[in-house]
């Protein structure tokens, strides 16, 4: 089970992910509401995995992914985006994302993906 | 053409027989002794390891065929490509997304799409995917990058058991339009119509989609049991949800209280 940092600008989505990941036995070590905060929290908490929203104010998810990967090239980041923004997938994967989740999502599949990425 | 071993249901009993797949028909050996022209097959459904083959007649006859996976695959491919259906050459990717998670090894398959009475089949050399028309939850014409080019595709959301799955179809735009219009027409009873949901009910809906139970929803949204019950009633009324089971809340009777009190006393 992993120590996870949840990054999303909406409280609702963070709470949902927190519930899903907690039910899967993961430890939620922190939350961030934008990309800037995500980079700071990553450096501070050094989580095993980050779930990263793509569209966020200030620094977006792709930029935050780049920032985190500069600090830790082995960072495991799973991107999370809304339906219709799937064109970001290639960019995110190219930037080093390990997985991609499209909202809305189903808990068992999310847990499966997190487990796969943590095991990779 | 191959002869394949199968079991076919007859009067509620499974009979061992063989099917000879010919150019235009399939011949079922004894005790059936029947030749079925492919063009008389109007529907094909897959349920676990069974194929349900519907023949054109009044009332329609449904053949239940069981066999090993490899045989069923061969049967499906031949029937889908020869039966009475609307077929089009296309590329498809199914599944591309499952439960919100991108399928990492998803790839475009070259093949065909067959539209039958109750389902759409994606068929390629190695793959046959059936999407029940009643399982289609959404469709749209969108763009997707294929070999560094933005191309038109139909994005199809559908249920596969309890998973929400997204598949893509790629073919000429005019054909995509036909497919899209057909799907829209077939699934128009799933439209919301005049019904609208307030933000809280939408959030409850989203949490149900994600697999949260009532207790988790109450805690996450900080709402009471009574409030969630009212929202469920609204969702039930407009057909967005169905009751899976009713959970009971109980409290101890005096007999129960005595039992528990006694049970926790240290042994004497």
pLDDT category at B48 given cuts 50, 70, 90 is confident
Tell me the pLDDT tens digit for each residue of A42-97.
999 999 999 999 989 889 999 999 999 999 999 999 999 886 676 677 788 889 99
Which stretches within A46-106 are classed as H helix?
A: 61-71, 88-95
* CA B268 – CA B251 distance, rounded (Å): 29
Q: Which of these, B20, B31, B28, lies nearest to B78 by C-alpha position?
A: B20
- Smallest CA-to-CA distance from A7 within A60, A44, A43, A48 is with A60
User: What is the structure's pLDDT at A2?
Assistant: 94
CA atoms of B45 and B35, how far apart (whole Å): 20
Chain B residues touching A109 at Cβ < 8 A: 98-101, 163
Give B-chain residues touching A110 at CB under 8 angstroms.
99-101
Distance (Å, whole) CA A117 – CA A52: 14
Q: Which two tokens stand for residue A38?
A: 């995500």
Band of pLDDT at residue B31, cut at 50, 70 and 90: confident
DSSP letter at B222?
T
Task: Name B235's Cβ contacts closer than 8 Å, sequence gap at least 6.
Answer: B201, B204, B205, B241
| Of B143 and B194, the one with more pLDDT | B143
- Taking contacts as CB-CB distances below 8 angstroms, the residues of chain B near A108 are 99, 211
DSSP codes of every residue in B75-115: HHHHHHHHSSSEEEEEEEEEEEEETTEE-TT---EEEEEEE
E-assigned strand segments in A1-120:
3-7, 27-32, 49-53, 77-82, 99-103
> Is B178 a residue whose pLDDT tops 70?
yes
Topology adopted by domain B85-191: PH-domain like (2.30.29)
Matching residue, tokens 């949800």: B241
Strand, coil or helix: A27? strand
Give helix A107-119 / helix A11-23 axis angle, nearest 10°.
Answer: 70
**DSSP annotation of B240:** S
- Give residue B32's pLDDT: 87
Instruction: For chains A and B, count residue pairs whose Cβ atoms are closer than 8 Å.
Output: 67
Q: Do domains B1-84 and B85-191 have the same CATH topology?
A: yes
Mean pLDDT score, B201-212 = 95
- Distance, in Å, from the CA atom of A4 to the CA atom of A29, rounded to the nearest integer, reads 6
The CATH number that domain B1-84 falls under is 2.30.29.30
Whether A105 and B101 lie within 8 Å, measured CB to CB: yes
pLDDT score recorded for residue A32: 97
CATH code, A113:
3.40.50.2300
Domain residue ranges of chain B, discontinuous segments joined by +? 1-84, 85-191, 193-268
The H or E element containing residue B25 is strand B25-28
Q: Which residue has the higher pLDDT, B11 or A83?
A: B11
- What band does B1 get if pLDDT is binned at 50, 70 and 90? low
What pLDDT, on the 0 to 100 scale, is given for residue A101?
A: 93
Burial of B251: CB neighbours in 10 Å, binned 0-12, 13-18, 19+: exposed
The strand pairing partners of B66, in sequence order, are B7, B50
- A31, pLDDT greater than 80: yes
Pairing of β B25-28 and β B86-98: unpaired
Give pLDDT tens digits for B71-85: 998 899 899 999 999
Helix (H, G, I), strand (E, B) or coil at B23: coil
The answer to whether residue B3 scores a pLDDT higher than 80 is yes
Cross-strand partners of B139: B156
Chain B residues within 8 A of A88 when measuring between CB atoms: none
Q: Mark residue A81 as left, alpha or beta (left: phi above 0; alpha: psi -120 to 50; beta: remaining).
A: beta
pTM of the model: 0.83
Asked whether residue B268 carries a pLDDT value surpassing 80, the answer given is no
CA-nearest residue of chain B to A99? B102
Name which residue leads in pLDDT, B188 or A6. A6
CB contact under 8 A, B100 and A104: yes
Measured from the Cβ of residue A80, the count of other Cβ atoms closer than 10 Å reads 27
A105: containing domain: 3-119
Total structural domains within chain A:
1
Residues of chain B in contact with residue A100, where contact means CB-CB under 8 angstroms, are: 101-102
User: What is the distance between the alpha carbons of residues B124 and A65, in angstroms, rounded to a whole number?
Assistant: 37
Kindly tell me if the per-residue pLDDT of B158 is higher than 80.
yes
Q: Which residue of A19, A87, A110 is in closest CB contact with B100?
A: A110
Model confidence at B185: pLDDT above 70 = yes
Q: Is the pLDDT of residue B261 over 80?
A: yes
User: In B, what residues contact A, Cβ < 8 A?
Assistant: 97-102, 104, 142-145, 162-164, 166, 203, 206-207, 209-212, 216, 220
Nearest CA distance, A66 vs chain B (angstrom): 21
pLDDT of residue A86: 65
Q: Give SS3 for B127.
A: coil
Q: How far is residue B42's CA from residue B80's CA, in Å, rounded to a whole number? A: 10
Q: Which of B172, B171, B177, B180 is nearest to B91 (CA)?
A: B171
Say what the pLDDT of residue B148 is: 83
Q: Decide if B167 contacts B107 (C-beta within 8 A).
A: no
Q: What is the pLDDT of residues B88-125, one digit of tens each?
A: 899 999 999 999 998 988 999 999 999 998 899 999 98
pLDDT above 70 covers a percentage of chain B that reads 100
SS3 A104: coil
Is the confidence at residue B211, as pLDDT, over 90? yes
* CA B151/CA B168 separation, integer angstroms: 11
């Amino acid at each position: 089970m992993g120590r996870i940092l949840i990054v999303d600008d909406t409280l609702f989505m963070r709470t949902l992910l927190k519930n899903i990941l907690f039910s899967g036995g993961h430890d939620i070590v922190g939350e961030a509401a934008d990309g800037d905060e995500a980079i700071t929290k990553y450096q501070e908490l050094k989580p095993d995995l980050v779930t990263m929203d793509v569209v966020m104010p200030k620094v977006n998810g792709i930029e935050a992914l780049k920032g985190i990967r500069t600090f830790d090239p082995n960072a495991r980041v799973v991107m999370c985006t809304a339906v219709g923004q799937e064109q970001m997938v290639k960019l995110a994967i190219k930037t080093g994302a390990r997985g991609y989740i499209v909202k809305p999502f189903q808990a068992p599949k999310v847990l499966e993906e997190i487990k796969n990425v943590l095991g990779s | 053409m191959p002869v394949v071993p199968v079991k076919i249901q007859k009067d509620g009993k499974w009979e061992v027989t063989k099917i000879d797949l010919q150019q235009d028909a399939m011949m079922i050996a004894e005790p059936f002794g029947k030749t079925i022209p492919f063009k008389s097959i109007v529907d094909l459904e897959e349920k676990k390891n069974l194929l349900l083959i519907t023949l054109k007649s009044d009332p329609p006859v449904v053949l239940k065929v069981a066999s090993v996976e490899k045989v069923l695959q061969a049967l499906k491919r031949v029937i889908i490509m020869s039966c009475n259906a609307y077929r089009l050459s296309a590329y498809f990717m199914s599944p591309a997304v499952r439960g919100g998670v991108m399928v990492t090894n998803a790839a475009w398959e070259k093949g065909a799409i067959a539209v039958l009475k109750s389902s759409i089949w994606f068929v390629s050399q190695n793959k046959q995917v059936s999407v029940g028309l009643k399982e289609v939850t959404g469709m749209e014409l969108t763009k997707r990058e294929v070999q560094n080019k933005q191309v038109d595709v139909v994005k199809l959301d559908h249920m596969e058991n309890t998973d929400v799955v997204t598949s893509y179809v790629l073919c000429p735009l005019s054909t995509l339009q036909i497919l899209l219009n057909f799907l829209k027409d077939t699934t128009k009873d799933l439209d919301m119509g005049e019904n609208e949901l307030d933000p809280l009910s939408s959030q409850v809906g989203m949490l149900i989609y994600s697999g949260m139970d009532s207790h988790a929803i109450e805690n996450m949204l900080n709402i009471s049991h009574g409030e969630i019950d009212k929202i469920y009633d609204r969702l039930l009324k407009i057909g967005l949800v169905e009751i899976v089971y009713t959970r009971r809340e109980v409290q101890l009777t005096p007999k129960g209280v005595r039992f528990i009190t006694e049970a926790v006393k240290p042994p004497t």
